[in-house]
Amino acid sequence: MHIHILGICGTFMGSLALLARELGHQVTGSDKGVYPPMSTQLAAHGIDAGHGFDAANLQPVPDLVIIGNALSRGNVEVEAVLNQRIPYTSGPQWLADNVLRHRRVLAVAGTHGKTTTASMLAWILEQAGLSPGFLIGGIPRNLGISARAGSPGGVFVIEADEYDTAFFDKRSKFVHYLPEVAVLNNLEFDHADIFADLAAIERQFHHLVRLVPGNGQLIVADNEPALSRVLEMGAWSPVARFGRTDQAQWQLKDGFEDQQFVVTSPDGEGVVRWRMSGEHNRRNALAAMAAARAVGVTLEQSSAALTTFASPRRRQELRGSVNDIQVIDDFAHHPTAIAMTLEGLRSVSSHGRLIAVIEPRSNTMKLGTMKARLPASVASADEVYWYQPATLGWSVVEVAKACPVPAHAMTTTEQLIDALVEKARPGDRIVIMSNGGFDNVHERLLDALGQYYGQEVDVGA
């Protein structure tokens, strides 16, 4: 079958393309704003991502078009699909029909940490010999690819997003996934472009909970009022709590040295020694370990796997360094995620300064819904640079003025790179946060630093 995917370079749709290709289909696709790592991953697997939307991309006529949720009426290819009566479906529906119905699904949901937690869970299952299938909204460095089908009847890990499915299906994507095990990692207001308030998102999470069978399991974070309200609407599956409270069956305790923590579980106590940092990542790991136990993985197996876990691409990813100045890439695009990323980086080193560079790019950010929370989110940084994308409907100057640390507002990436090269000193860590390509600032900054110091770029692992 020839499948054409609209929005193929999105993290979900690009992963879907890999699955379709693995299942033997001919796969083509269209998108705009094509950038790594998804564009390079698709190219490496022989999938033509195209550049831009055009009705001509639908020739020869595909057997099926999968339409991403970023596409809507008015898009030239969407209109051509409708006018020509070409069969179409949504990504989540295709995934449910062709992959998930034949596998034991472990779904990871939550406002933050989905990609990292799902990557941890897939790696734990891989190291335990279960050869999981998975679809993750990023590229797990341990596994080297964002999706694979796995075997029918086997386990399948999916990053379960509450965003809507398609312009013709406004349900949350995750209601299609029918999980046996569902991780509810955290929950706060986000996606202001489609949800009116937190209560509306809680209702969607309740819909997910309703789908978990009685012989499945819910893995739920403690001390999360919104998730407690979700469960109060009804829960028909066993619930395992994780966190730091006495009510949690999976409890997190501090270790005796950096990058180590202790886990108390229903099966006893274990110690995890790893390369990750931050309280949020320790909680992510706890959730992954609890979910892995639900399909038979022991505490010892999980602890051993996490020792070798590497963060997914674009999650505190070291892109390179010049003259002991590190450039780090992170996907954080919500005030809570920004704060957690900076706190985590701060916790592992006080050597040199921590300089934050932030592009408010997400749909929620564009609406200004989170603007008042942004200044406090950078408190763990030594200095911050706010970038003003052309699509932003408010001025970052106001946010910069309200920050508790020295802050600057930048209107061009050229201006931003020049300022960073002038400011950076050996020992500094520059963390660049955006959920988009950010005009390739990461590589351009490394090149500029290399030219300034007359040194080669030491490429990150």
What is the per-residue pLDDT across 285-332, written as a single tens digit (0 to 9) for each? 999 999 999 999 999 999 999 999 887 767 778 888 898 999 988 877
Q: Find out whether 113 is annotated in a ligand binding site.
A: yes
Q: Find out whether 336 is annotated in a ligand binding site.
A: no
Positions in the chain whose pLDDT score sits under 50: 461
Nearest-10 Cα torsion for 315, 182, 13, 75: -110
Structure confidence at residue 35 (pLDDT): 67
Model pTM? Answer: 0.79
Type of residue at 56: A
Q: Find out whether 412 is annotated in a ligand binding site.
A: no
Q: Find out whether 111 is annotated in a ligand binding site.
A: yes
β-pair type (133-135, 147-148): antiparallel
Q: Find out whether 116 is annotated in a ligand binding site.
A: yes
Q: Residue 241: which of 258, 227, 259, 257 has the closest Cα?
A: 227
Q: Find out whether 334 is annotated in a ligand binding site.
A: no
Q: Inter-axis angle of helices 279-293 and 335-348, to 10 degrees?
A: 100
Side-by-side strand order, sheet with 354-358: 407-410, 383-387, 354-358, 429-433, 325-330, 317-322, 458-459
Q: Inter-axis angle of helices 198-211 and 225-232, to 10 degrees?
A: 50
CA distance 164 to 239: 26
Q: Find out whether 401 is annotated in a ligand binding site.
A: no
Digit-coded pLDDT (tens) for 404-458: 999 999 999 999 999 999 999 999 999 998 887 788 888 899 998 988 888 888 8
Structure confidence at residue 349 (pLDDT): 66
Structure confidence at residue 257 (pLDDT): 65
Kindly state the tokens that stand for 431. 């963390």
Structure confidence at residue 42 (pLDDT): 86
Structure confidence at residue 214 (pLDDT): 96
For every residue of 323-367, DSSP letters joined together read TTEEEEEE---SHHHHHHHHHHHHHH--SS-EEEEE---SHHHHH
**134-81-59 Cα angle (round to 5):** 90
What domains lie within the chain, and their CATH numbers? 2-90 (3.40.50.720), 100-308 (3.40.1190.10), 317-453 (3.90.190.20)
